[in-house]
A and B are shown apart, each in its own frame.
Chain A
Amino acid sequence: MKRFKVFLDVEKEEQWLNEQLEKGYRCTNISGLGIYTFEKTEKKYVMRLDYQADLSKRRLEEYKGIYEDFGWSYVKGFALNGIRYWQKEDDGQNEIFSDRESTVHYYRRLMKYSLWLGMLFLAYSFMIYNDSRLYHEGLWNMEGSLFWKALVFETPFALIKLLPAIMVVAFSLSFYKSYQKYVVLKGQ
């Protein structure tokens, strides 16, 4: 089974993946373009997403080695965005973090992730919105039904142009979400 899905929020992605596994699947591959491949299984699996950017070859090897010793298998990891996908058979010990300290660090890493992508889209937005308008200038001089037709015609293009700005908002929201969890855990 293949599913196409795009996530901007690591925790939502983890939740969605586990919902698929609960239906009797296990994940066999994830492509960078948002294609998730699953296969039917009799066993119960769980997935956990970690965020680890900038792992040197040596550290990646050690990182993977420790998780594998604990029974996790590395489904996929993207060096570019730092998300690591771990899966194991459900055996009651299904968490990758066992204390508050390391969970706090996890949320701090997620904040970094949203911040970095948010900034990237923000910079991009500045570049493209600086010298172009959302709608064609002549549109606002049109009258009656011609105006409405032109507006409807141009709106999809305007939305595509708005996409980077939408991404900035989405990453800001997930930054804020991680930040809240970080603060609550850290304050305890």
Chain B
Amino acid sequence: MKHKLLPLSETMHYILLALREPRHGYAVMQEIEKMSNGDVILAAGTLYGAIENLNKHGWIEPVGSSGRRRIYHITDEGREVLKTEQQRLQHILSLYEGSE
């Protein structure tokens, strides 16, 4: 059976992408705002819950702290998930192209 977080929600997807570099929570939100051209602005509770969830599933992990903020980084398992999602999305994109 498919993992319960798959296919990734937009929020989870962006967080995993942002955490290919180690970042703390607020920096993740800022990076996502930039990556999405201001389209996706995460709220505090959503970000907190998503980080907890991704951490619980072992797709990201804490790698240190800056002051009292914890810094997270994507794990190998998380990278695998991104690769699978990339293939899934590429397939869907190819269907778009085929019909035109």
Contacts and interface: CB of A to CB of B under 8 A. Distances in A.
Nearest to A62: B70
B9 A65 contact: no
B68 interface: yes
B26 A66 contact: yes
Contacts, number: 62
Interface stretch (B47-55, B75-83, B90-98): B47-55
A70 B44 contact: yes
Given A70-B26, A102-B50, A96 B69 contact: no
A101 B35 CA distance: 21
Interface in A67-90: 67, 69-70, 72, 86
B45 to A, nearest CB: 4
Given A61-B68, A66-B47, A69-B26, A93 B11 contact: no
Contact of A96 (B9, B29, B41, B46): B46
B43 A70 contact: yes
B48 A98 contact: no
Interface residues of B, number: 21
B69 A97 contact: no
Given A50-B45, A97-B46, 15 more contacts: A48-B45, A62-B25, A65-B25, A65-B70, A66-B26, A66-B47, A66-B48, A70-B26, A70-B29, A93-B41, A97-B45, A98-B43, A99-B11, A102-B45, A105-B49
Interface of A: 48, 50, 59, 61-63, 65-67, 69-70, 72, 86, 93, 95-99, 101-102, 105-106
25 contacts: A50-B45, A59-B52, A62-B25, A65-B25, A65-B68, A65-B69, A66-B26, A66-B47, A67-B44, A67-B48, A69-B26, A69-B69, A70-B44, A96-B46, A97-B45, A97-B46, A98-B42, A98-B46, A99-B46, A101-B9, A101-B11, A101-B46, A102-B43, A102-B46, A106-B45
